[in-house]
Amino acid sequence: MPLNAGSMRRIQRRTSVRLREPSRICIFPAEKAEELTACDKSAIEKLSKHIAEIRKDVQEMVNARKDANRIESEREKAIAYHDNVVPKMEAIRYHIDKLELMVDNEMWPLPKYREMLFIR
């Protein structure tokens, strides 16, 4: 069942966050819950921003590669890669590096770039 803005507000007013501990239940009002979750929301927004940028840059890089691969001259193709593809790869790398710092090692299934540099 889809929720509209009015029903979302009613739910927010009525709900509170309950933290269960072995000995007692602590109940926070919705305003306090908002304050307590602000940090999590900020982190989720940052993650989402980086992921969206990665998706956009990957698509742009793929298109730039397709354009460069249509060029017959190897020299001109190399220039197109240098001017159009490499900057997109650097942009993708920037956002991936930021995500690597934000995501816990246990949840990051791949070796991180800084780890690959020092693997013997």
User: What's the pTM value of the predicted model, to 2 decimals?
Assistant: 0.63
Phi, psi (rounded to 5 degrees) for 33: -60, -40
What is the SS3 assignment for 12?
A: helix
Burial of 83 per CB tally in 10 Å (0-12, 13-18, 19+): exposed
pLDDT tens track for 40-86: 788 888 889 999 999 999 999 999 999 999 999 999 999 999 999 99
CB 111 within 8 A of CB 119: yes
Burial of 28 per CB tally in 10 Å (0-12, 13-18, 19+): middle
Residue 18 pLDDT more than 50? no
What's residue 92's pLDDT? Answer: 95
